């Protein structure tokens, strides 16, 4: 029997809609439409164009109707933390601020002057980042923002888009957990933190978990698209939560690496891990599927290489990999998470400065820069995994790499060598697959996350990388940690 679902997968630079079908042969994905997601700068602020995103979703649904593709439900996932304000009349009051807006610079410190930092982390288990919803809301309140002052409801991005499709407002757990407004232990909004920013639970939609049926398409949407009363399901609204749900693991002895511009490296736990160590190491406890917690750390990822490539002109990726493989190993190593790499005017100059400050030769060629980045990322992954091993109730035996970075064979092998772990790469379309599989769970096609993962394991191809040159990597790791220490203490 064939079951088809419509997934909306929105990233901070682009979005797409996908129809995925579960058949006796496995899982089939078809992209329906793809579109850019541009920031709009107006009056010194950066906004998301939620109306344009909604229009693209409607266009995707129109194409589904025109092609007579039978879909059982619709699910939406997006990036985290951002939200819209909705007035008493049910209308969105203005375009939502983007997390890249500079108005929250220094916001955590302003909030912690009233509520102790330790108390916030003990409650939420979420790492402190200036753009977390908690600090966005506090900034808007302090700035007497007119939209927030007039708001009856606050809706996170996937919930706001589902609201536009159905007229029903919910607050989905995984996306809400990124806000730093959710009590990690009770899995509910934290009243004391809401009060600190002038809100109550009544300012949010019904608090729901992945798999909840939100409602059906409104009469207006049915008329515009040509579809019937299709159900809209609250999937794991946070894109990383949907991606992790698609990890094709058959047991609990795995770590995951959602690899792309940024690397999200973590483990699944059954309860939040909130200790002095997790706070000191800046680990975060975000909501997962099936009652799980995603204990993870943000690691700078392919951002380093993307920024370097801006100045390298036209070059194919295979050419760059060939140049990298021809270079001397471990010539230069950096800490990818050093603040110098956050947003430098020139990434190449920043890497050279780091190397010079630690007494290493600076890279000179494209291959040397790329090798430096790949080797350093692999060693940073090892460092984070060692911390996770100490925090995890389960031993980590396999590292599952998902997302676009799972196609980087050279970095995957480096990672296996550095970490001494078996690396299983794929699926690259993990977010969309996770979105779809949660819809399938809501439809009763699969019973739970374990069945989801077994089905993905059987139907989605993966590539395995086994550790090889581990001795050389062990020596390099000693040097890597020394360079990191020297940068911190100088």
Residue 490 or residue 462, greater confidence: 462
Average pLDDT over residues 368-380: 98
Query: What is the C-alpha separation between 175 and 179, in angstroms, rounded?
Result: 7
**Fold (CATH) for 247-426+460-490:** Nucleotidyltransferase; domain 5 (3.30.420)
- Confidence at residue 97, expressed as pLDDT on a 0 to 100 scale: 97
- Confidence at residue 260, expressed as pLDDT on a 0 to 100 scale: 86
| C-alpha angle 303-305-309 in degrees, rounded to nearest 5 | 115
Sequence spans of domains, the chain: 3-238, 247-426+460-490
Q: Confidence class of residue 393 from pLDDT cuts 50, 70 and 90?
A: confident
- Confidence at residue 2, expressed as pLDDT on a 0 to 100 scale: 87
Return all residues near 126 (Cβ < 8 A) that are at least 6 apart.
132, 177, 178, 180, 182, 184, 284, 285, 286
CB 281, CB 350: distance < 8 Å: no
- Confidence at residue 261, expressed as pLDDT on a 0 to 100 scale: 83
* CA pseudo-torsion sign 222, 211, 23, 1: negative
CB 206, CB 169: distance < 8 Å: yes
- Torsion over CA of 376, 378, 381 and 386, rounded to 10 degrees? -100
- Confidence at residue 53, expressed as pLDDT on a 0 to 100 scale: 98
Report the percent of the chain where pLDDT is more than 90: 91
User: pLDDT for 458-485, tens place per residue?
Assistant: 999 999 999 998 999 999 999 999 999 9
Please state whether beta strands 231-234 and 212-216 pair in parallel, antiparallel, or not at all (unpaired). Answer: antiparallel
Tokens of 204: 């949010």
Q: Confidence class of residue 488 from pLDDT cuts 50, 70 and 90?
A: confident
Catalytic, out of 138, 145, 239, 337? 239
Give catalytic status of residue 138 as yes or no. no
What are the Cα distances from residue 266, in Å, to 47, 200, 247, 352, 384? Answer: 30, 32, 12, 30, 8
Report the percent of the chain where pLDDT is more than 70: 100
CB 154, CB 175: distance < 8 Å: no
* CA pseudo-torsion sign 88, 90, 94, 99: positive
Are 3-238 and 247-426+460-490 equal in CATH topology?
yes
User: pLDDT for 37-72, tens place per residue?
Assistant: 999 999 999 999 999 999 999 999 999 999 999 999
What are the Cα distances from residue 289, in Å, to 315, 374, 437? Answer: 40, 31, 11
- CA terminus-to-terminus distance, the chain: 64
Average pLDDT over residues 276-294: 95
The correct CATH number of 3-238 out of 1.10.1330.10, 3.30.70.890, 3.30.420.40, 3.30.70.360 is 3.30.420.40
- Name which of 179, 261, 214 is nearest 14 in CA terms: 261
- Name which of 322, 323, 334, 365 is nearest 476 in CA terms: 334
User: pLDDT for 65-81, tens place per residue?
Assistant: 999 999 999 999 999 99
- Confidence at residue 26, expressed as pLDDT on a 0 to 100 scale: 85
Q: Confidence class of residue 363 from pLDDT cuts 50, 70 and 90?
A: very high
What are the Cα distances from residue 461, in Å, to 28, 67, 363, 426? Answer: 12, 28, 36, 7
Q: 100 φ, ψ to 5°?
A: -80, -5
Return all residues near 288 (Cβ < 8 A) that are at least 6 apart.
174, 236, 241, 244, 245, 268, 294
User: pLDDT for 23-33, tens place per residue?
Assistant: 888 899 999 99
Average pLDDT over residues 80-97: 97
Q: What is the 3-state secondary structure (H, E, C) of the chain?
A: CCEEEEEEEECCCEEEEEEEEEECCEEEEEEEEEEECCEEEECCEEEECHHHHHHHHHHHHHHHHHCCCCCCCEEEEECCCCEEEECCCCCECCCCECCCCHHHCCHHHHHHCCCCHHHHHHHHCCCCCCCCHHHHHHHHHHCCCHHHHHCCEEEEHHHHHHHHHHCCCEEEHHHHHCCCCEECCCCEECHHHHHHCCCCHHHCCEEECCCEEEEECCHHHHHHHCCCCCEEEECCCEHHHHHHHCCCCCCCCEEEEEECCEEEEEEEECCCCCCHHHHHCCCEEEECHHHCEEEEEEEECCHHHHHHHCCCCCCCHHHHHHHHHCCCCCCCCCCCCCHHHCCCCCHHHHHHHHHHHCCCCCCCCHHHHHHHHHHHHHHHHHHHHHHHHHHCCCCCCEEEEECHHHHCHHHHHHHHHHHCCEEEECCCCHHHHHHHHHHHHHCCCCCCHHHHHHHHHHHCCCEEECCCCHHHHHHHHHHHHHHHHHHHHC
């Amino acid at each position: 029997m064939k079951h088809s679902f419509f997934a909306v997968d929105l990233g901070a630079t682009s979005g797409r809609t996908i129809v995925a079908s579960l058949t006796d042969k496995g899982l089939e994905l078809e992209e329906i439409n793809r579109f850019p997601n541009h920031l709009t700068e107006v009056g010194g602020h950066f906004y998301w164009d939620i109306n344009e995103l909604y229009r693209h979703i409607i266009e995707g649904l129109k194409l589904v109707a025109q092609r007579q593709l039978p879909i059982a439900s619709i699910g939406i996932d997006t990036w985290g933390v951002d939200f819209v304000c909705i007035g008493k009349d049910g209308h969105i009051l203005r375009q939502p601020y983007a997390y890249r807006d500079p108005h929250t610079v220094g916001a955590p410190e302003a909030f912690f002057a009233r509520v102790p930092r330790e108390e916030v982390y003990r409650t939420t288990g979420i790492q402190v980042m200036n753009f977390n919803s908690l600090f966005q809301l506090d900034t808007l309140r302090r700035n007497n923002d007119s939209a927030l002052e007039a708001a009856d409801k606050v809706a996170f991005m996937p919930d706001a888009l589902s609201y536009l499709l159905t007229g029903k407002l919910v607050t989905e757990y995984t996306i809400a957990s990124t806000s730093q407004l959710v009590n990690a232990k009770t899995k509910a909004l934290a009243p004391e933190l809401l009060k600190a920013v002038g809100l109550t639970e009544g300012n949010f939609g019904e608090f729901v978990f992945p798999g909840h049926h939100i409602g059906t398409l409104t009469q207006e949407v049915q008329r515009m698209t040509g579809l019937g009363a299709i159900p809209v399901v609250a999937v794991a609204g946070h894109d990383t939560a949907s991606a992790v749900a698609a990890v094709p693991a058959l047991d609990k002895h795995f770590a995951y690496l959602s690899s792309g511009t940024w690397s999200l490296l973590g483990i699944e736990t059954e309860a939040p891990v909130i200790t002095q160590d997790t706070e000191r190491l800046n680990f975060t406890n975000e909501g997962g599927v099936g009652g799980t917690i995603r204990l993870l750390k943000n690691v700078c990822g392919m951002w380093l290489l993307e920024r370097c490539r801006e100045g390298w002109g036209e070059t194919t990726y295979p050419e760059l990999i060939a140049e990298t493989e021809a270079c001397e190993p471990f010539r230069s190593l950096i800490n990818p998470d050093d603040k110098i790499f956050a947003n430098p005017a020139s990434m190449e100059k920043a890497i050279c400065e780091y190397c010079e400050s630690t007494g290493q030769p600076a890279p000179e060629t494209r291959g040397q820069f790329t090798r430096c980045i790949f080797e350093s990322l692999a060693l940073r992954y090892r460092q984070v995994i060692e911390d996770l091993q100490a925090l995890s109730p389960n031993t980590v035996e396999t590292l599952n790499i998902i997302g676009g970075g799972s196609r980087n064979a050279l970095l995957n092998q480096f990672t296996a060598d550095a970490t001494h772990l078996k690396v299983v790469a794929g699926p690259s379309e993990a977010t969309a697959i996770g979105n779809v599989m949660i819809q399938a769970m809501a439809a009763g096609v699969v019973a739970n996350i374990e069945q989801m993962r077994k089905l993905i394991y059987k139907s989605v191809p993966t590539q395995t990388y086994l550790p090889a040159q581990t001795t050389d990597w062990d020596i390099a790791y000693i040097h890597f940690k020394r360079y990191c220490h020297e940068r911190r203490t100088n």
